[in-house]
Amino acid sequence: MLPFARLTIIGTGLIGSSLARAVRAKMPGVTLTGHDLDPDVRARAQALQLFDDIADSAGAAVTDADLVILAVPPLAMSAVADSLAGDLPPDAVISDVGSVKTSVRDALMAALPGPQRIVPAHPVAGTENSGPEAGFAELFDGRWCILTPPDVADPVNVERLAEFWRRLGSEIEIMTAEHHDMVLAVTSHLPHLIAYTIVGTASDVEDVTRSEVIKYSAGGFRDFTRIAASDPTMWRDVFLANKDAVLAMLQRFTEDLTALQRAIRWDDGDTLHRHFSATRDTRRRVIDAGQDTAAPDFGRGPRSA
């Protein structure tokens, strides 16, 4: 038995379109309805045949849904929730796919009736690409999906959503929204902020031409450019919506960076070696946890999430 029979996805970018493709592949009995605020994106999603129906408004898209997933930037959540609140069926479960959870939970609970049916979620998966053409059904395979239900959420709704994501190939973790936001500030948000900064700095260095930066880009810089190519609207919203956790982690990073700067200035090789050894161990643990492969990557391998 399917956990949900009628799914509506609001937002048809990378995650929304991947979600539609994954449901088509792994739960073909589910009826799919989509909506995007941008009419051009709606037309592209329709041309790709991602959905059984593309609605012209968020309200029209949710009228017969039993699961609604909002795949929109964090700062758009409140307005989108407001726009569809009056058309939601009384028993529909509401979720999302954003990488910030506290502000999303609060926005959904303020805008929507029935707090027991609100179950925010974050599939920890993605690429630097965006738009409906960028999605692929395998995006969630073997990835974690973190659920952050509020205290008032119905446990039955939480389990139904967990089973939905399991069927898409995801592993499930449940935690509070506040804890999620602190964890993701370390593992995702701060790395993106650093990547945007480093790539911007490289573009501004006066005594290195831009062509040389591109021509001689080694693995480290190349990886930063991939991260820094991510959707600017979404990441602007992420940093503003999770600013307290990001600022806390940024302060800690600044202190650690200052310590390394001091070690380099004073030729303190022992401190540098201890630090680099510890971070190398973290890389091994990421591989052991199945979150990456130890195979060499020279930037020419197949697309990976």
- Regarding predicted confidence, which is higher, 154 or 221? 154
pLDDT for the residue numbered 58:
94
d(CA 136, CA 155): 30
- The tens digit of pLDDT for each residue in 236-253 reads 998 999 999 999 999 999
Domain residue ranges of the chain, discontinuous segments joined by +: 6-175, 179-288
| pLDDT at residue 153 greater than cutoff 90 | yes
d(CA 122, CA 269): 41
What is the percent of the chain where pLDDT is above 70? 87
Q: Which of 32, 10, 11, 35 is nearest to 22 (CA)?
A: 32
Q: Is domain 6-175 annotated with CATH 3.40.50.720?
A: yes
| pLDDT at residue 299 greater than cutoff 70 | no
Contact 98, 147 (CB under 8 A): no
d(CA 241, CA 208): 35
- Regarding predicted confidence, which is higher, 297 or 243? 243
Q: Supply the mean pLDDT for the chain.
A: 87
- The tens digit of pLDDT for each residue in 175-195 reads 999 999 999 998 888 888 888
CA distances from 211 to 16, 202, 228 (A): 36, 11, 18
pLDDT for the residue numbered 225:
79
- The tens digit of pLDDT for each residue in 250-286 reads 999 999 999 999 999 999 999 989 888 888 777 777 6
| pLDDT at residue 44 greater than cutoff 60 | yes
Contact 272, 263 (CB under 8 A): yes
CA distances from 107 to 68, 110, 113, 243 (A): 15, 5, 12, 16
User: Side by side, which strands form the sheet with 53-54?
Assistant: 53-54, 31-35, 6-10, 67-70, 93-96
- The tens digit of pLDDT for each residue in 98-144 reads 999 999 999 999 999 999 999 999 999 877 778 899 889 999 999 99
Q: What is the mean pLDDT of residues 197-218?
A: 67
CATH of 179-288, one of 3.40.50.1000, 3.40.50.2300, 1.10.3660.10, 3.60.110.10: 1.10.3660.10
